[in-house]
């Protein structure tokens, strides 16, 4: 109930009494009357926002997402708010935290400290800023390692904290980009012809073809019209380099949002783009829910990447929601990729998406040559064959760089005993614990369980433990000894866990001449390594026979993205892929004819099998401390669904998940599929409420995943 004189309007936050707690809620609507008696209605304790934080259009979009994914609206609305606004009553001011030189600091510009180059460099950086001041977010993005020098300058009294006023960012200056090639110019022209109306364009460009330059040109056009731009990237690791390019061309109006920022920084950026003070937002998947004034362009970079899908809590696809959001804003949406998803290519076939191709590399760089190395009868040293080692040696001797791709971090995927056959199985998952020799840990990458590496076999007591298989740590150790005269850089989640570590590792690579780079899929996309002329894929076979029907598609996308790191400069590149299955038909098609031919064959297979994108799926997951609890729950749901399913709905299961036990819980799946989307959703509309009411639901955790991207 709204008390008198308490202007609660949709989109504003309110504090309410709920049991013994006083949580914060968001008003979705205001009704003229209620079926509940007036004396049983609780009053709102307080309205927290003088103006609504979410507009009617924002609430409508969130309501659509909740309905499509059949998820509680409260959790969907919470996903659209920064963490502080869900828990704190007072919203931050729309100004920004900043640093500025004091009068003493300005005097020091003439005589910077000679023995402290970092302090001197930071002083000079502030000296070049208007008003000798800069927002904390800008400082963090341009000088990520400046915190120690900043503290020293503050202690000396040369710099002080300030609050910048909530004023719009200055208009974009005229910063000319490189001349567009014919393909780029055509893509920009065709999208510019669409004006500001809704259209979906798949920007299908080979690696290194200059998709980012197309994004920048389109963003500048949208800004010139007074509109805002939303750019989604799959991972934090891609954000810094893209942010630098966007800010160089579009100015300080570019803001960033991702989990690597503090809660305060994220909320300040959220307010600025919501109010239209900043006009470009660059962020990861959750940024799709950020309110933006006058949205005029949506860009999804690496649209094929599964990282755009949230797989816990509120499960959604940011790529798919980007299309819906652009449609509601009546603005263009660009989906960019060198390896488009089969879903997007199917939408091109059906005439729903425009298909814009960039078939040549920007700057005249050549497409790398790709070859297969048959290692079935080859002796391997830390997973590397002699032909690959010889090619590495020759490339380094020519003063060029080599990148080796192995999508397994740690030293080895399993530790085993040669005496009794013991293996480092995870005690809580149906998986092995990976050996991390640097930290002396056995670590499960699925459930997170860790234990110290045993000195002797836990089963037979023999000191005969050996690593089985290879990880990036082992590759680094072997190559550091084999090629000791060359810089060696490893990039994986372990090596780049500390803040700024990835940037420092990549700076080392760019500063070197001949060098070795080892990495996981963190290196597979978006990075520009002009001196890398040889890429070696150590093990390409993981996705060829996956239990998930999307395994070969993911394998092909990863291989093409990795191969795209070679030959991006003046010298041509070569890619060598080690495999024990050189005759696999899809792998041979990929290497011989390229990704478009592979995608055509894969789409044909999916059509014949009746699998997505030629059908639509929903996956009901249940897990419990005992397998029979999850099985009984899904069997009850199967009985209910069988009676209500329309014509054309298939129900598969319940069956144990491919990884049946994870983090100590047993997992069971029920898969629902239909050719017609509306028939499937008609069944799903009543399913959550029915599932929650089952007595068996008390002993399980369950979730509904609409359009699942993996079946694990």
Q: Does the pLDDT at position 617 exceed 90? A: yes
Distance CA 629, CA 637 (A): 13
446-461 pLDDT, tens digit each: 888 899 999 999 999 8
pLDDT cut 70: percent of the chain above it: 95
pLDDT at residue 540, rounded to an integer:
81
Contact 410, 466 (CB under 8 A): no
- Average pLDDT, integer, range 633-650: 92
- Average pLDDT, integer, range 50-61: 92
pLDDT at residue 264, rounded to an integer:
82
Distance CA 39, CA 36 (A): 8
Within 251-399, where are the H helices? 263-275, 318-329, 342-349, 386-397
- Average pLDDT, integer, range 493-507: 76
Mean pLDDT is lowest, of 91-95, 266-270, 311-315, for 91-95
Mean pLDDT is lowest, of 97-101, 282-286, 361-365, 402-406, for 361-365
DSSP secondary structure of 170-235? PPPP----PPP-HHHHHHHHHHHHTTTS-EEEEEEE-TTS-HHHHHHHHHHHHHHTT-EEEEE-S-
Q: Does the pLDDT at position 394 exceed 90? A: yes
659-691 pLDDT, tens digit each: 899 988 999 999 999 999 999 999 999 999 999
Higher pLDDT, 154 or 503: 154
Kindly state the tokens that stand for 434. Answer: 């990976």
Task: State the chain's mean pLDDT as an integer.
Answer: 88
Question: Which secondary-structure segment (H or E) carries 472?
Answer: helix 472-482
Convert 157-179 to b/e letters by CB count within 10 Å (16 or more is b). ebbeebebeeeebeebeeeeeee
Contacts of 466 (CB under 8 A, 6+ apart): 415, 416, 417, 418
78-129 pLDDT, tens digit each: 999 998 899 887 776 666 677 888 888 888 888 888 888 888 888 888 888 7
Would you place residue 526 in the very low, low, confident or very high pLDDT band (cuts 50, 70, 90)? Answer: low
pLDDT at residue 166, rounded to an integer:
61
Would you place residue 173 in the very low, low, confident or very high pLDDT band (cuts 50, 70, 90)? Answer: low
Which range of 116-130, 147-161, 163-177, 306-320 scores highest in mean pLDDT? It is 306-320
209-225 pLDDT, tens digit each: 889 999 999 999 999 88
Nearest to 373 by CA among 365, 360, 383, 382: 383
pLDDT at residue 364, rounded to an integer:
62
Higher pLDDT, 242 or 36: 36
pLDDT at residue 422, rounded to an integer:
92
Contact 120, 114 (CB under 8 A): yes
Contacts of 1 (CB under 8 A, 6+ apart): 34, 38, 41, 42, 43, 44
- Average pLDDT, integer, range 501-515: 80
**Model pTM?**
0.85
Peptide bond into 613 cis (omega under 30): yes
Which range of 59-73, 208-222, 393-407 scores highest in mean pLDDT? It is 59-73
Q: 694: helix, coil or strand? A: coil
Q: 95: helix, coil or strand? A: coil
Higher pLDDT, 275 or 343: 343
pLDDT cut 90: percent of the chain above it: 46
């Amino acid at each position: 109930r709204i008390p008198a004189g308490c202007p609660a309007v949709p989109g504003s936050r309110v504090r309410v009494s709920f049991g013994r707690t006083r949580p914060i809620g968001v008003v979705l609507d205001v009704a003229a009357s209620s079926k509940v008696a007036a004396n049983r209605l609780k009053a709102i304790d307080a309205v927290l926002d003088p103006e609504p934080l979410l507009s009617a259009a924002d609430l409508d979009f969130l309501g659509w997402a909740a309905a499509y994914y059949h998820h509680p609206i409260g959790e969907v609305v919470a996903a659209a708010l920064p963490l502080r606004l869900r828990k704190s009553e007072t919203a931050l001011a729309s100004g920004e935290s900043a640093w500025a030189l004091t009068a003493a600091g300005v005097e020091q510009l003439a005589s910077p400290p000679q023995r402290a180059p970092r302090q001197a460099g930071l002083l000079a950086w502030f000296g070049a800023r208007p008003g000798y001041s800069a927002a904390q977010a800008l400082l963090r993005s341009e000088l990520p390692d400046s915190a120690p020098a900043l503290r020293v300058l503050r202690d000396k009294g040369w710099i002080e904290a300030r609050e910048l006023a909530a004023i719009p960012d200055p208009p974009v200056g005229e910063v000319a980009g490189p001349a567009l090639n014919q393909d780029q110019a055509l893509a920009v022209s065709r999208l510019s012809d669409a004006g500001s109306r809704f259209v979906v364009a798949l920007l299908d460009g080979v690696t290194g073809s200059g998709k980012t330059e197309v994004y920048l040109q389109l963003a500048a056009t949208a800004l010139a019209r007074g509109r805002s731009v939303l750019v989604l990237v799959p991972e934090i690791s891609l954000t810094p380099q893209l942010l630098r390019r966007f800010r160089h061309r579009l100015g300080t109006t570019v803001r960033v949002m991702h989990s690597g920022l503090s809660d305060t920084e994220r909320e300040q950026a959220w307010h600025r783009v919501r109010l239209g003070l900043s006009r470009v937002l660059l962020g990861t998947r959750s940024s799709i829910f950020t309110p933006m004034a006058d949205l005029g362009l949506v860009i999804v970079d690496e649209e094929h990447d599964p990282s755009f899908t949230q797989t816990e809590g509120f499960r959604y696809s940011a790529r798919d929601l980007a299309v819906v959001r652009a449609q509601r804003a009546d603005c263009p949406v660009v989906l960019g990729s060198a390896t488009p998803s089969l879903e997007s290519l199917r939408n091109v076939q059906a005439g729903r998406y425009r298909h814009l191709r960039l078939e040549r590399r920007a700057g005249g760089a050549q497409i790398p040559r790709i070859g297969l190395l048959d290692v079935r009868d080859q002796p391997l040293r830390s997973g590397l064959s002699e032909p690959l080692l010889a090619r590495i040696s020759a490339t380094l001797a020519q003063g060029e760089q080599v990148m080796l791709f192995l999508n397994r971090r740690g030293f080895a995927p399993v530790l085993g005993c040669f005496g009794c056959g013991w293996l480092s199985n995870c005690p809580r998952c149906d998986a092995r614990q990976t050996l991390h020799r640097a930290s002396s840990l056995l670590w499960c990458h699925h459930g997170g369980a860790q234990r110290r590496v045993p000195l002797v076999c836990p089963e037979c007591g023999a000191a005969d433990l050996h690593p089985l298989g290879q990880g990036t740590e082992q590759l680094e150790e072997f190559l550091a000894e084999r090629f000791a005269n060359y810089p060696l850089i490893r990039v994986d989640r372990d090596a780049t866990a500390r803040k700024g570590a990835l940037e420092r590792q990549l700076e080392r690579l760019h500063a070197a001449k001949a060098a070795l780079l080892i990495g996981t899929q963190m290196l597979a996309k978006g990075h520009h390594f002009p001196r890398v002329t040889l890429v070696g894929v150590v093990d390409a076979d993981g996705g060829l026979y996956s239990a998930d029907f999307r395994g070969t598609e993911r394998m092909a996308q990863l291989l093409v993205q990795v191969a795209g790191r070679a030959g991006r400069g003046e010298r041509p590149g070569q890619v060598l892929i080690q495999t024990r299955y050189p005759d696999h038909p899809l792998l041979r098609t990929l290497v011989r004819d390229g990704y478009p031919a592979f995608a055509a064959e894969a789409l044909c297979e999916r059509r014949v099998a009746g699998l997505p994108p030629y059908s639509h799926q929903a996956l009901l997951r249940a897990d419990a401390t005992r397998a029979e609890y999850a099985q009984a729950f899904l069997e009850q749901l199967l009985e209910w669904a069988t009676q209500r399913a329309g014509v054309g709905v298939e129900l598969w299961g319940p069956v144990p998940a491919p990884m049946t036990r994870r983090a100590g819980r047993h997992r069971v799946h029920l898969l629902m599929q239909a050719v017609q989307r509306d028939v499937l959703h008609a069944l799903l509309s009543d399913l959550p409420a029915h599932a929650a009411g089952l007595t068996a639901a008390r002993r399980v955790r369950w979730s509904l995943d609409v359009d699942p991207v993996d079946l694990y």
